[in-house]
Structure 1
């Protein structure tokens, strides 16, 4: 009996081997057949994309999509149209897909999501929002909420943005720094309208969302100063040092004005001198030079700017140093010095820029919200000399 079983096993092994070989052959033939069935236009389009020839790629993929009913190919073509700024073509393509009775029900939300992006790119934000709101109950709810958050920021609808960010909050991303900025936008608007109570409430909400929000402290100081609470304003602005000392640059002139209002300009100068000594990267040398010159005289201002430039050389500092020495020069040398000062000033204005730490976008103006990548609180408050 045992011998008979061994013989059966010996006969089965070659059979298993033959079946495996046959299956592999069948699979390989199927793969080769599928590869040969891919239209040549698809490869032309793919090659054009690699070469960044989006116009050629769009034309090639369009020809293939007319021959093929593959949804993924149509979606890719729609994205390509959108990237090229051909929003009308993308909208027509996705609308045609939605009108097709062959489109599976489970894929309709995917096409609607693409259509919403088409509308948004075309500037039809209301229509995009209408579609995205309807997607919130489906499988694309997360992506739809992210798109809506971008739309609400674009429309400056900060209350809706706050609510949407709250719905997106997770262990991986709290959105706290972003929500704090939304509340700051509301606080700034209330402050412009002299609604100090509302502004205070929004500032409190901003600090509750992110206690490190330097902008909230900056606005709180503005509220206190506007209401005549000068010492409270000073305390609010000084609190920025513990949150993010780099933003003291934005509070420096406010702090001096507050001390000046209290009749203590020298205390304001001393405070700013201390900040500059502790944090030499703060862009307050020019401000301090003017205040020292006004209250302590040109000689003291010259000593200050010379010390500051030697500690941290910069084009703007050199400009002020040349200006401070002009009065000591005879007319001939003064003419040369003025020419040198003008050249330094020109280059300082060209090179001194605020820079986004996320996308490296550069601007002479300061933004809380980067206009290039949309990141909040990413702009350097202190300009840097960049070639």
Structure 2
């Protein structure tokens, strides 16, 4: 019974100690808050308002007051770099590295930031030199990612392949990118007419990614250049299994191969089949031209009318009006020509390729998005959009 009474007496003591500890902690927090310079809060407020010039001035003032504060100086360096003040960022990070007060664990991080400063300033060689020295340390992963970006920017595809393979992980295999790098090498050899080496690079691209559409396109080009027209057709038709949306990029190549084999009507039949099966493909212009040449204007008009009614588009209407010009009176032709010119103007303005990752739009097609850097993200068939 006496033991129970003692426990009852101890409970108030425990509560009192807890209250005292809370008071001490709050006093510590308040004391630390008062010791933070006012300029720090001014800088944070400026960052929230996206006033980077004011933020940079305020944080620089705090940095001078606080002396050696690595985290603050690193933040200030990033802010300089974001504002395009690359020289100031470089000088700041170089001073940090020269300081004997810089903790060893922060030295690699500062060197990594300095490499980014040099890259942003256009001094890519100096950035690469620093990043290569960081590969075996704690910043190795981040350094390799930066190097991969540099090698893609410099179009050094051999180094890009090596670096991407080193970056492979369960989360990202980089097979998609590696296949594109081999395709870049293959395309370069095709331009130099070194077809055997180009064929080797295409085989490597397929080894990395058997569904690589671009590799099939290049392989067809190689076969066509060597006079193997049936093999070229087989390579381009393989795109239907890989990603049928890219068939429009092979359509004219396919027809040229059928022409070389003196089988143009088979080529037309194949393209008409593609258009019926995959109505989103951009084949209206090509089919109209080939049908008009080999089967006459009447067949071309029927094909265009069928396509436009099934899937209306500005360029489809443009071709439909063109196909009917001969049946119009002189006055009707003038009116129709004016309408066609207006439609063509708006079609050229609205019809674009679009990146599926960042929504960047361009009239030209890119395998590598110039905005976000993603590979094979551009829509191969242009869309009419605002």
Identify the TM-score tier after normalising by the shorter chain. Answer: over 0.9
2-structure distance, mates of 1:27, 1:65: 27
Partner of 1:49: helix, strand, or coil?
Answer: helix
Partner of 2:366: helix, strand, or coil?
Answer: coil
User: Higher mean Cα deviation, 249-258 or 38-47?
Assistant: 38-47
1-structure distance, mates of 2:352, 2:268: 26
Per-residue CA shift, 1:3-45, capped at 9, x if unaligned?
3x44543443333222221111110111111112222211221
1-structure distance, mates of 2:94, 2:316: 60
Match of 1:234 in 2: 233
Match of 2:336 in 1: 337
1:40 to 2:38 alignment: yes
* Uncovered stretches (5+) of structure 2, i.e. residues with no partner: none
1:125 to 2:124 alignment: yes
2-structure distance, mates of 1:323, 1:202: 44
2-structure distance, mates of 1:10, 1:280: 84
Match of 2:175 in 1: 176
Match of 1:81 in 2: 80
Match of 2:151 in 1: 152
Per-residue CA shift, 1:116-136, capped at 9, x if unaligned?
100111111110011111111
Report the TM-score, using the length of structure 1 for normalisation: 0.97
Per-residue CA shift, 1:269-308, capped at 9, x if unaligned?
1100100111111111111111111111111111111111
Match of 1:324 in 2: 323
TM-superposed deviation, 1:373: 0.4
Report the TM-score, using the length of structure 2 for normalisation: 0.98
Match of 2:372 in 1: 373
Query: How do 1:46-85 and structure 2 match up within 5 A?
Result: 46-68=44-66, 69-85=68-84
The correspondence for 1:23, drawn from 16, 21, 24, is 21
Per-residue CA shift, 1:31-63, capped at 9, x if unaligned?
111112222211221121121111111111111
TM-superposed deviation, 1:235: 0.1
Match of 2:314 in 1: 315
2-structure distance, mates of 1:64, 1:150: 34
Query: How do 1:126-145 and structure 2 match up within 5 A?
Result: 126-145=125-144
Per-residue CA shift, 1:310-346, capped at 9, x if unaligned?
0110000011111111111111111111000000000
Match of 1:278 in 2: 277
1:221 to 2:232 alignment: no
TM-superposed deviation, 1:263: 0.2
1-structure distance, mates of 2:326, 2:32: 85
2-structure distance, mates of 1:89, 1:328: 71
Per-residue CA shift, 1:148-195, capped at 9, x if unaligned?
110111111111111111111011110110000000001111111111
Match of 1:161 in 2: 160
2-structure distance, mates of 1:112, 1:74: 13
TM-superposed deviation, 1:86: 0.9
User: Higher mean Cα deviation, 61-70 or 11-20?
Assistant: 11-20
User: Higher mean Cα deviation, 357-366 or 58-67?
Assistant: 58-67
1:97 to 2:96 alignment: yes
2-structure distance, mates of 1:187, 1:285: 31
Query: How do 1:184-223 and structure 2 match up within 5 A?
Result: 184-223=183-222
